[in-house]
A and B are shown apart, each in its own frame.
Chain A
């Protein structure tokens, strides 16, 4: 007696496959195999490259934080609304040129050269330098009741690249600000150009011995920051005055900022192979989660190109899923309640659906293939720390990348059965509702993120940016035995920043 299973076995064992074109693998398979057998070690290199790139990123970040030529100096305790940095006393060999100038002129003065490193750090600000024909000396730099340098009561001479540039008398006649304000002196400076290395020296007849007195240094700070302190017309660079014995340099980079943003978010639910294989026969379909995101952040500028920030996001999304399910309807009943496990991107949900019969049927039962459509809602908050690195920075525009790490908490989930179609004219939905909830959704999930922001200055204190971000969950958002779902999130936000 023939057996159906023997027949199946024979059919698969020595089948003639010449005409079975549906078994032809795609061409890419052979290419992949050739590539794999051609260089077996190639696969093994990928983790090394990955770890190398990660190490490079971490190393670069650490270098930026700890070895930045401007900020490797220690912070003083006298921090007001501006950052004050204490410098070590100038070494004798570093001031030899200064002493020579001093002997020659028999005046008290100090010569300071800005370091090439500092200039290089802002070399892309060339255009700004070239535009500048004024340099301001802010004399009242030392805050907190400390000594002021009084240029007004003494005559002085400023040299740039060893050329006399201005004297106090010129300044007083040329610039009203000089006489009107004791804080700022404007100095005409045609010599300052885009050339990086230039020497600035100041000659003064102040009574204070120069080798114990004032040091003048130049610090190249983006004009956008300078504007915040001085005034609109003041351009790059600024000169800062320090006393050797108690040196405080004022950095004009804003110290803190806060941000607020709003935008749209998209969640891509990625079910693992086991899950996909399992639900594929049920003709499972899903959509990604779409919704809105609001965010706030506080940040601290460590230098003009690097800042750290703490961010908080709130997200609300909606998504849907559908599949079919086999139900055997007992025709002896007018209404039948059926327990169904529904598959969703966030795991399985146990439910009861009610079906009602509207016409008599002579057979004992009816086999139904029911289409189920569900809608889901989810809200979540997340907190993350980001390192913000300015890749491009010019007049009023910055391009910033922000790698980060954070934790997300799922606040709420909601399910709704939106459609139940029996494909049978006599049996209908009897008022079904989803009663179950996502039992295996993890409420707390760590993630890594990467954002890129195009930022524009609106004024001294306000900036606006368009931000594109993506986040990758480091753990599965749901895990039901081997059925797992991961999430990659994308968002676009408009962000407003206030600097302090």
Chain B
């Protein structure tokens, strides 16, 4: 019975669930990772109330992800809500051997954010027409001294198509091939959008008089 076998997975989940239910003391030992795993398994076992704990642990991290993709807060919160509901529904599918929970949850969140824009409108003809129409109000300071909020605002000044590709490639580590598949565009489009996004970001930073801009150029 190999680990790739789904029966093994179900059996494993069953064993862990059984252990959690009837051997709580034994399972209370362990590191933070085990705590997270234990929390997830308890939720899978049916303790819905513990999902609030999971929510409280990761809400800010995932909200930051939502706000990077969707500047409008109300819509970002909608995406966050849908993400957590999807996380709950798919929690049994989470495989810790393949990565951390937050990585898995972030991917779900990104997918929910992308669904907020339909694939066609990720690259809108307005992108080129509404560039830099938002007056980006940041203090004159070095980029590396910018707060997280300022950095998020900086990314949000980008038109949607640029912003999505920039976030996916630079921040979230997608490859151009993955981006192309997700957004249903060609890889060259993804590369072009990324190049324009970077160019535009540099321009914005320069116009806003970032003192360390030259060192980054």
Chain A residues close to B by CB (< 8 Å): 1-5, 7-9, 11-13, 15, 17, 20, 22-26, 29-30, 32-34, 36-38, 40, 273-274, 276-283, 323-326, 340-341, 343, 348, 367, 369, 481-483
Smallest CB separation, B62 vs chain A (Å): 9
Residue of A with least CB distance to B149? A22
Q: How many residues on the B side are at the interface (Cβ–Cβ under 8 A)?
A: 59
Q: Which of A5, A32, A277, A323 contacts B70 (CB 8 A)?
A: A277
Q: Pick from A5, A12, A277: contact of B68, CB below 8 A.
A: A12
Q: Is the CB of B134 within 8 A of A274?
A: no
Contact of B59 among A2, A25, A324, A482 (CB under 8 A): A25
Are A282 and B134 interface neighbours, CB within 8 A? yes
A326 in contact with B131 (CB, 8 Å): yes
Query: Quick one: closest A residue to B70, CB to CB?
Result: A277
The complex places the Cα of A377 from the Cα of B207 at a distance, in Å, of 39
**Complex interface: chain B residues within 8 A of A30 (CB):** 52, 55, 59
Q: What is the bound-complex CA distance between A365 and B24, given in angstroms?
A: 71
Interface residues of B in 154-194 (CB under 8 A from A): 154-157, 159-160, 170-171
Chain B min CB distance to A345 (Å): 15
Interface string of B104-138 (1 = CB under 8 A from A): 00000000000011101100111001111111000
Contact B121 A481 (CB under 8 A): yes
Q: Give min CB distance, A123 to chain B, whole Å.
A: 50
* Chain B nearest Cβ from A164, distance in angstroms: 77
> Which of B2-10, B15-23, B79-87 forms contacts with chain A?
B79-87
Measured between C-beta atoms, what is the minimum distance from B137 to chain A in Å?
A: 12
Query: Is A282 within 8 A of B121, CB to CB?
Result: no
B77 contacts the other chain (CB 8 A) = yes
Report if B1 contacts A (CB, 8 A). no
Q: Which of B88, B120, B159 contacts A37 (CB 8 A)?
A: B88
Q: Is B198 an interface residue (CB 8 A)?
A: yes
List 25 A-B pairs, Cβ < 8 Å: A4-B201, A12-B68, A12-B171, A17-B60, A23-B59, A24-B60, A30-B52, A30-B55, A33-B84, A37-B88, A40-B89, A273-B117, A278-B121, A278-B124, A278-B160, A283-B133, A326-B131, A326-B132, A340-B129, A341-B126, A367-B207, A481-B121, A482-B117, A483-B121, A483-B124
Q: Residue B144 at the A interface, CB < 8 A? A: yes
Bound complex: CA A15 to CA B159 (Å): 24
Q: Are A38's CB and B125's CB within 8 A?
A: no
Q: How many A-B residue pairs have CB under 8 A?
A: 152
List the interface of chain B (C-beta within 8 A of A): 48, 51-52, 55, 59-61, 63-64, 67-68, 70-72, 75, 77, 80-81, 84-85, 88-89, 116-118, 120-121, 124-126, 129-135, 143-144, 146, 148-149, 151, 154-157, 159-160, 170-171, 198, 201-202, 205, 207, 213, 215-216
Taking the closest CB of chain B, its distance from the CB of A341, in whole angstroms, is: 4
A273 touches B116 (CB 8 A): yes
CA A17 to CA B118, docked complex, whole Å = 30
- How distant is the Cα of A118 from the Cα of B132 in the complex, in angstroms? 72
A22→B73 CA distance, assembly (Å):
10
**A325 and B133 alpha carbons, distance in the complex (Å):** 5
Complex: chain B residue closest to A36, CB-CB: B85
A481 touches B125 (CB 8 A): yes
Q: Is the CB of A23 within 8 A of B67?
A: yes
- Is the beta-carbon distance between B85 and A7 smaller than 8 angstroms? no
Could you say which residues of chain B place their CB within 8 Å of the CB of A277? 70-72, 75, 116-117, 160
User: What's the Cα separation between A163 and B36 when bound, in Å?
Assistant: 89
In the assembled complex, the Cα of A20 lies from the Cα of B64 at a distance in Å of 10
Assess the A280–B72 pair: CB atoms within 8 A. Answer: yes
- Which of A4, A340, A367 has the largest count of B CB atoms less than 10 A from its CB? A4
- Interface core residue of A3, A23, A323, A348 (most chain B CB under 10 Å): A23
- Among residues of A, the one whose C-beta sits closest to the C-beta of B128 is A341
Contact A23 B134 (CB under 8 A): no
In the complex where A12-B171, A37-B51 touch, is A25 in contact with B80 (Cβ < 8 A)? yes
Looking at the assembled complex, report how far the CB atom of A12 sits from the nearest CB atom of chain B, in whole angstroms: 5
The answer to whether A20 and B148 touch across the interface, beta carbons within 8 angstroms, is: yes
Q: Choose among A1, A15, A278 the residue with the greatest number of B CB atoms under 10 Å from its CB.
A: A278
Known: A277-B72, A325-B133. A4 touches B60 (CB 8 A): no
What chain B residues lie within 8 Å of A341 (beta carbons)?
126, 129-130
Using A25-B59, A277-B117, A482-B121 as known contacts, say yes or no to A4 and B130 having CB atoms under 8 A apart: no
Q: A33-B81, A341-B129 are in contact. Are A274 and B118 (CB under 8 A)?
A: yes
